[in-house]
Amino acid sequence: MIHVLVLNQENKNNNRKFIFLKCSKNKLRNVRDECMNSYVKIDRNILDWEWWSDIKTSRLFFYMILKAKWKDGNFKGISVPRGSFVSSVAKLSEGTNLTVDEVRTALKHLKFTNEITSKSYGKFTVFTINNYNTYQNNTEKLTNKVPNKSQEDTEQISSKY
C-alpha cells in the first residue's frame, strides 16, 4: 500500500509550498519521477465547475483523472498520450460503482462540455482528458522543490511506524 504525505509550509510572504513524500514499507523516501504517478492536483476552482453538483458525472471525471497516464505510452500498438488511458464503459462502471447507463450518461455530459474525448478501437477505448496538461502542469516546480541526493544524505528522515 502506498500513502502520500503532504507537508504544507508557509513562508513569510504567505506563499505556500508543498513537499511530497511517499510512504512505502514503513519508510519515508524522496520521490522525483515516482510522485508524478502517485498523486494528482485538484484546483479549488473545481467547486465552481458546472458538473460539481452532479455526483455521478463528477465521480467519473475524478476517476478518469486518476486513471490518466502521466506520461506518453502505448497499448497494443496504439499511442496513449499523457492525459489519456485505455478502458471500456464496463471497466469504468466497475471502477466507479456506477451502472453502465450512468457511466454512458456521465460520458455524454463530459463530452458535451469538451472535458473529454474518446476513440474506440473495438474491444477498448482510449479516453483523453482534454485539459490534463493544464490541470497537472506544475511538474517542473515540484521536481525543483524535492531535495537532491546530497540533501537527502544530510537530512535523512527515519520513521518507525
pLDDT in tens, 24-58: 444 444 434 444 457 788 888 889 999 999 999 99
Residues near 51 by Cβ (< 8 Å), separated by ≥ 6?
57, 58, 61, 109, 110, 113, 115
Average pLDDT, the chain: 75
Higher pLDDT, 124 or 29: 124
Higher pLDDT, 135 or 155: 135
d(CA 128, CA 116) in angstroms, rounded, equals 5
In contact, 111 and 118? CB cutoff 8 Å: yes
| HEC secondary structure over the chain | CCEEEEEEEECCCCCEEEEEEEEECCEEEECCCHHHHCCCCCCHHHHHCCCCCCHHHHHHHHHHHHHCCCCCEEECCEEECCCEEEECHHHHHHHHCCCHHHHHHHHHHHHHCCCEEEEECCCCEEEEECCHHHHCCCHHHHHHHCCCHHHHHHCCCCCCC
Name residue 12's amino acid.
K
pLDDT in tens, 86-123: 999 999 999 999 999 999 999 999 999 999 999 999 88
The three grid cell numbers given for residue 29, joined into one nine-digit string: 523516501
In this predicted structure, what is the pLDDT of residue 15?
52
Q: What is the mean pLDDT of residues 54-66?
A: 95
- pTM (2 decimals)? 0.64
Q: What is the mean pLDDT of residues 3-9?
A: 46
Q: Is the dihedral of CA 135, 139, 59, 124 positive or negative?
A: positive
In this predicted structure, what is the pLDDT of residue 39?
79
